[in-house]
Structure formats: structure tokens, C-alpha cells
């Protein structure tokens, strides 16, 4: 690190593909676990529907929360390459442990005794669950580190200032997302089938083998990568600004921003919102004479960077429920499918595994991702004159609206399923396709919109942390799902979510999510209408900054989509 880049032998599409392979393997492993885990917990382990759903959502919530830690470790100390290599190794270990926990007979309770035998079903013991939890959270640690850094290292393989490489970098993100969705599609079809029809241990073993192979390929390409040295955590900057603003809280804000510390060298323009943070950059002569260190406090640039991060939080809060809705597709929707007719082709036809119903979700993601790039964005670009076509918050809004409609569809289908089940008939599992398709479409809009928003609106030095902040919406969404299931169970005495879905009222739970979605969407509209998109520095400042950064492996602004940010600067 620190040496000039040799473009002839490093970076480019080959290096980016080797790096992206680790995220493909992570998605194969994680989706292969989360999509079908609830049927294993309810079935062989004899856990309740509510407990099983919470185990899956807590696992996914922790995984995405650990992505924030993975980004912090890479920024502060290890760098992206070493964090990815270590995380991939940890994820492989977790998948091996999971395969072992499902292969060893002693890690499962005995089969349910016949109803007339009086034995009933014994749930898995604490000892049996211990290895399962160890495996799941080892996977979460590894996958979290991968999620936070793979796309960043991938975009590092392209020089955004080079016209040819800059265009390639933009395509990298869309192709990266498409590739990840293909990994999810493989997991929900091939792996789920292997788990249900060949054996759980074989299914998780395949995931472990794919992760191990991707890790080996990633390490083999070491000489081809371009690296950036870790810059240190931006949390230090945020803490110093907040502390300085609190320390100077009694001081009046100057009427002229030019009086603030470092205003003459500011890399971003001053904004009038959150003026109390400006106090962090006030130069107090008396304080400086008593405490010389105060004279070297936060600058105007650092204050404005913290303002940018604070202004992300209202939108961040409205994105949480989006992922709460999404989490239902990995839990209750799969349990619904297990109680519906999944046979294709008559009496002797093929029975679709319950977990494989999620294939319609990923087909919708692939379809709408392609339509966005090839149809919707060009049309919106011509209509609005914006280079990016649809604004990031417009994408987020579309995703929130579609996810709410999906819960309405889910409630109606569940009501029909219960009504027919009470008459002794099992309706086709393909009635679940509308809600799966709508959630997939909402992700194609919402995921890309959220990621673009958090990348574009974050300050340059805090791109990694902003990506981690985005991933915490996934974490909070899964945790909120667990909390809602627990709260509904306590409030209704377990009447809505029961072990036997036919005796419960899951449709009312879906209606509750739909109502919450409406209120959340209204709140989003209020926040979005007041959000001021980031203003760029004047052209002269951008030119000076660009000239100051040579194309070397020295620390530079991190971004999952740095090309999007660079190409959307209007100066």
C-alpha cells in the first residue's frame, strides 16, 4: 500500500469479479440458511412458530448489525482486503459448524411420539440448541464483515476519475447487485431442494464448500487488487464535533459562517440547518488561551460532515419497517407454504419445497433491476432531465409503497387459506406469488434507492460508515419483527400467531403491518419533502481536491458506489 497503481496488471473487471465472488458465496450461504431455517426449527427441532420466526429474524438482524462493526474494523485498522479474507474464513467455519449440528443425530430431539402414545413432541434442549446458535452467530460475524467491505473493495478496482474506468465502475454496482440476486436464486432453489430431499447437512455442506472455494479464489487474486490504506474511524470526528458543540453550547452562533474555524479551507458549503452544531467550530479566544488544544478543534468542514450524517437519520428511521415486511418472506410466508399444496403436475408431479417459494421474490428482483436500468431510468431521465433518472428518495418511496401493498395481499391470501383449510381443502402455494413478487419489486426499488441515498448524501470520508448505517436498517427491521411477534403474542394471548397457523389469525398480523406501513409511508413523505440534497463544493474546490489526490494506494474516500457520487456532481 502506498505505491502507485499499475493499471496494466491490477484492478479492472477481473479483479472486481474475484472480489464479488465472495459476496456471491456469502449470499448463497446466508440465504440458504435463512430462507429454509424456519422449517427445520418447527420440524425436526419441534420449536413453536413464533420462536422459530424470532430465531431467524434475530440471526439476520445480528448479521446486518455486525456489518457496521465490519466497516469500522476495516476503516480503523485492517483495511478491506484483510477484513474480507478474515470474514470469509469465519463464515466458512460457521457453515461447517451448521452442517455438523444438523448431521449429528444427538443434536436433534427424538421424533414426535404418536398422539395416542402420550409422548408428544419434545422441543430441542439447550445443549442441542447451543451448537446451532454457535454456528448461526459465527456465520453472522463472518457475513457481516463481508457485507460491509466487498462492494467497497470492488469499486476500488476502478479509477472514478478515468473516463473509461469511471463508466465501468457504474456498471460494476448494477452487475454486482444482479450477481448477488443470482446467488439468492440458487440458494432458494437448488440448496433448499437439497436440504429438504437429500439432507440438511448436505445442503449446508454445499454452502460451506462454495464459501471455502470463493475464499481461496479471492486470496489467489491478491496480486491483482488495488488497495487503499485504512483512514481511521470517522466516529472520532463525529464524537469531537458533538463534544465541542456541547462544550460551546452557551456561546452565540456567529452570523457569518466565515468566522468559524477552517472556513477558508472548507471543502463543503455551509448550511443553515442544525445551526447548534456550528458551535463546535467557534473559535473562543478565552478558552484557547486556557486550553490550547481547543484552538485545534473541529473545523467547518467536519461540522458540515456531521450535519450530513444527522440529516440521514429521519429517512433511516422510515426504512426500518421496510425490512420488517421483508423478513416475513423468510419466516411466516415459508410456514404458510408448508401448509399449502405445492405439487406441480398432478398426483405424480413434483412437490416444490416450501423454502423454494422465495424464488418468485428473487425473480422479481432480477426483473425489476433489469427494467430499472434499461427502461425506467432512461424514461425518467428524459422526463426529468436528471442524469440518474429517478431520485434516490423516489426509489425508496416506491419500495415502501410496494411493501405495504404486499402486506395487504398477504393478509387477503392468508384469510383465504384459513377459510379453505377449515373446510378440509389446501389451496395452492402459488397464491403466495403476489406477495412474494411485490416484496421482490419493492426490494429492487427500495434497496437500490436506500443504498444510493446513504452513499450520495454522506460526506466523502464517511462513506463506509454510511454504508454500515444503511445496513443497520436491515438489522433493526429484523429485530422489530421479533419484537412485534412477541408483543402481539402477549397482547392477544397467542391468538394471532400459533403453532398451528390454521388456529391463529396471521392475516390480522399482516393487516397490522399494512397499517403500520401506511403511517410509515406518510412519515417518509414528510421527511423526504423536507430533505435538502447534499450541495457540492464549488467547482474550484472540487478541482483542487481532485488534483491533491494522486492515483495511488493512499487513503481516499470510501464508497460502495463512488462512481455514482462522482458522476452526479454538477459543477
| DSSP single-letter state for residue 341 | B
User: Where does the pLDDT of residue 398 fall: very low under 50, low under 70, confident under 90, or very high at 90 and above?
Assistant: very high
For residue 523, the number of C-alpha atoms closer than 13 Å in the C-beta half-sphere is 16
Please report, rounded to a whole number, the percentage of residues in the chain having pLDDT higher than 90: 20
Question: Taking the C-alpha atoms of 506, 512, 516 and 519 in order, what is their torsion angle to the nearest 10 degrees?
Answer: 140
Q: Which 8-state DSSP code applies to residue 79?
A: H
> Are 54 and 184 found together in one domain?
yes
Grid coordinates belonging to 537: 463544493
Task: Kindly report, residue by residue over 186-204, the tens digit of the pLDDT.
Answer: 888 888 888 888 888 899 9
Does 485 lie in the same domain as 376? yes
Quick one: DSSP state of residue 311? H
Asked, for residue 6, whether it belongs to a domain, the answer is no
Q: Looking at per-residue confidence, does 220 or 494 come out higher?
A: 220
Q: Looking at the predicted structure, is the pLDDT value of residue 286 above 80?
A: no
Look at phi and psi of residue 232 and say left if phi exceeds 0, alpha if psi is from -120 to 50, else beta.
Answer: left
Note whether residue 7 is domain-resident. no
Q: What is the rounded distance in angstroms from the CA atom of residue 229 to the CA atom of residue 75?
A: 8
Overall number of domains in the chain: 2
365/470 same-domain check: yes
Q: How many CB atoms are closer than 10 A to CB 190?
A: 15
- 131-185 per-position pLDDT tens digit: 989 999 999 999 988 887 887 777 777 776 666 766 666 566 667 777 888 888 8
Rounded CA gap, 1 and 19, in Å? 18
CB 454 within 8 A of CB 421: no
- The pLDDT of residue 369 is 79
pLDDT per position as a tens digit, 502-529: 888 889 999 999 999 999 999 999 999 9
Q: What is the pLDDT of residues 75-105, one digit of tens each?
A: 777 888 889 999 999 999 999 999 998 888 8
pLDDT for 301 equals 84
Same domain, 498 and 532: yes
Task: Please give the DSSP secondary-structure letter assigned to residue 295.
Answer: G
Report which of 108, 104, 88 is spatially closest to residue 29, judged by C-alpha positions. Answer: 88
With respect to residue 413, please indicate whether it lies within any of the assigned structural domains.
Answer: yes
Q: DSSP code of 225?
A: -
Query: Radius of gyration (Cα) for the chain, nearest Å?
Result: 25
DSSP 8-state symbol, 352: P
Residues 204 and 263 occupy one common structural domain:
no
Q: What is the pLDDT of residue 52?
A: 86
Do residue 267 and residue 380 come from a single domain?
no
Name the domain boundary from 268, 298, 328: 298
Length of the chain as a residue count: 571
For residue 431, the model assigns a pLDDT of 92
Inter-residue contact 203 to 47 (CB < 8 Å): no
User: Same structural domain for residues 252 and 348?
Assistant: no
Q: Does the pLDDT at position 267 exceed 80? A: no
Q: Which residues pair with 344 in a beta bridge?
A: 350
Instruction: List the one residue out of 314, 333, 328, 327 whose CA is nearest residue 474.
Output: 327
Query: What is the pLDDT at residue 43?
Result: 83
Between these two residues, 455 and 68, which has the higher pLDDT value? 68
| Whether residue 33 is found in the same domain as residue 77 | yes
> For residues 232 and 29, is the Cβ–Cβ distance under 8 A?
no
**Domain containing 272: what range?**
235-298
Q: How many whole angstroms separate alpha carbon 60 and alpha carbon 144?
A: 10
**Residue at 343 is within a domain:** yes
Cell of 400: 415502501
Residue position matching grid coordinates 436528471: 386
Query: d(Cα 315, Cα 450) in Å, to the nearest integer?
Result: 9
Residue 4 maps to a domain? no
**In this predicted structure, what is the pLDDT of residue 209?**
93
Cβ–Cβ < 8 Å for 23, 150: yes
390 secondary structure, DSSP code: S
At 314 the pLDDT is: 93
- Residue that is last in its domain, among 250, 283, 298: 298
Tell me the pairing of strands 343-344 and 350-351.
Answer: antiparallel
| Pair (32, 170) in one structural domain | yes
Domain match, 380 and 312 both:
yes
- At 47, list the grid cell: 420449536
By the 10 Å C-beta count (0-12 exposed, 13-18 middle, 19+ buried), 546 is classed as: exposed
User: Bridge-partner residues for 343, per DSSP?
Assistant: 351
Same domain membership, residue 275 and residue 204: no
Q: Return the HEC string of 156-217.
A: CCCCCCCHHHHHHHHHHHHHHHHHHHHHHHHHHHHHHHHHHHCCHHHHHHHHHHHHHHHHHH
- Give the residue from 298, 330, 353 where a domain finishes: 298
The pLDDT of residue 504: 84
Residue 509 resides in a domain: yes
Residue 181 lies in a domain: yes
Residues 46 and 151 in one domain: yes
CA separation for the pair 343, 345 (Å, rounded): 7
CATH number, domain of 541, equals: 1.20.1250.20
Within-domain flag for 335:
yes
42 and 188 Cβ atoms separated by less than 8 Å: no
Handedness of CA 54, 60, 63, 68 (dihedral sign): negative
Amino acid at each position: 500500500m502506498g505505491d502507485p497503481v499499475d493499471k496494466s496488471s491490477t484492478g479492472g473487471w477481473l479483479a472486481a469479479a474475484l472480489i464479488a465472488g465472495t459476496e456471491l458465496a456469502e449470499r448463497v450461504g446466508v440465504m440458504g440458511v435463512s430462507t429454509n431455517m424456519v422449517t427445520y426449527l418447527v420440524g425436526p427441532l419441534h420449536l413453536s412458530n413464533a420462536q422459530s420466526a424470532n430465531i431467524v429474524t434475530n440471526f439476520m438482524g445480528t448479521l446486518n448489525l455486525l456489518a457496521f462493526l465490519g466497516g469500522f474494523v476495516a476503516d480503523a485498522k485492517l483495511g478491506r482486503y484483510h477484513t474480507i479474507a478474515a470474514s470469509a474464513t469465519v463464515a466458512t467455519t460457521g457453515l461447517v459448524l451448521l452442517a455438523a449440528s444438523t448431521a449429528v443425530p444427538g443434536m436433534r430431539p427424538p421424533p414426535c411420539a404418536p398422539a395416542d402414545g402420550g409422548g408428544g413432541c419434545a422441543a430441542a434442549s439447550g445443549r442441542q440448541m447451543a451448537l446451532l446458535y454457535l454456528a448461526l452467530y459465527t456465520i453472522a460475524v463472518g457475513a457481516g464483515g463481508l457485507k460491509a467491505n466487498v462492494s467497497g473493495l470492488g469499486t476500488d478496482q476502478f479509477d472514478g476519475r478515468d473516463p473509461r474506468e469511471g463508466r465501468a465502475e457504474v456498471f460494476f454496482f448494477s452487475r454486482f447487485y444482479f450477481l448477488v440476486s443470482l446467488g439468492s436464486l440458487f440458494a432458494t432453489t437448488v440448496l433448499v431442494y437439497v436440504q429438504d430431499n437429500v439432507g440438511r447437512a448436505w445442503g449446508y455442506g454445499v454452502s460451506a464448500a462454495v464459501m471455502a472455494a470463493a475464499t481461496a479464489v479471492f486470496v489467489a487474486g491478491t496480486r491483482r487488487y488495488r488497495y487503499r490504506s485504512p483512514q481511521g474511524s470517522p466516529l472520532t470526528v463525529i464524537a469531537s464535533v458533538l463534544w465541542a458543540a456541547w462544550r460551546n453550547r452557551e456561546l452565540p452562533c456567529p452570523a457569518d459562517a466565515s468566522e468559524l474555524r477552517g472556513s477558508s479551507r472548507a471543502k463543503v458549503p455551509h448550511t443553515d440547518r442544525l445551526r447548534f452544531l456550528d458551535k463546535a467550530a467557534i473559535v473562543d479566544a478565552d478558552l484557547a488561551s486556557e486550553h490550547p488544544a481547543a484552538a485545534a478543534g473541529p473545523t467547518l468542514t467536519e461540522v458540515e460532515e456531521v450535519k450530513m450524517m444527522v440529516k440521514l437519520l429521519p429517512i433511516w428511521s422510515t426504512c426500518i419497517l421496510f425490512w420488517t415486511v421483508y423478513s416475513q418472506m423468510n419466516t411466516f410466508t415459508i410456514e404458510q407454504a408448508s401448509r399449502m399444496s405445492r405439487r406441480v403436475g398432478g398426483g405424480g408431479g413434483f412437490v416444490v419445497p416450501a423454502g423454494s417459494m422465495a424464488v418468485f421474490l428473487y425473480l422479481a428482483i432480477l426483473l425489476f433491476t433489469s427494467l430499472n436500468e434499461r427502461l425506467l431510468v432512461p424514461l425518467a431521465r428524459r422526463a426529468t432531465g436528471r442524469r440518474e433518472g429517478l431520485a434516490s428518495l423516489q426509489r425508496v418511496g416506491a419500495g415502501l409503497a410496494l411493501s405495504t401493498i404486499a402486506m395487504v395481499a398477504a393478509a387477503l391470501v392468508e384469510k383465504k387459506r384459513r377459510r379453505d383449510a377449515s373446510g378440509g381443502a389446501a389451496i395452492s402455494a402459488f397464491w403466495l406469488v403476489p406477495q412474494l413478487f411485490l416484496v421482490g419489486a419493492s426490494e429492487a426499488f427500495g434497496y437500490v434507492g436506500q443504498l444510493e441515498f446513504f452513499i450520495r448524501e454522506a460526506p466523502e470520508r464517511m462513506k463506509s460508515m454510511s454504508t454500515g448505517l444503511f445496513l443497520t436498517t436491515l438489522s433493526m427491521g429484523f429485530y422489530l419483527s421479533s419484537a412485534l411477534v412477541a408483543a402481539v403474542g402477549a397482547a392477544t394471548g397467542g391468538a394471532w400467531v400459533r403453532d398451528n397457523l390454521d388456529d391463529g389469525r396471521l392475516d390480522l398480523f399482516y393487516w397490522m403491518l399494512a397499517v403500520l406501513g401506511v403511517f410509515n409511508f406518510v412519515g417518509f413523505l414528510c421527511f423526504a419533502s423536507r430533505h435538502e440534497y447534499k450541495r457540492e463544493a464549488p467547482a474550484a474546490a472540487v478541482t483542487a481536491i481532485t488534483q491533491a489526490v494522486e492515483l495511488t494506494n493512499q487513503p481516499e474516500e470510501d464508497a460502495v458506489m463512488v462512481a455514482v457520487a462522482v458522476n452526479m456532481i454538477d459543477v
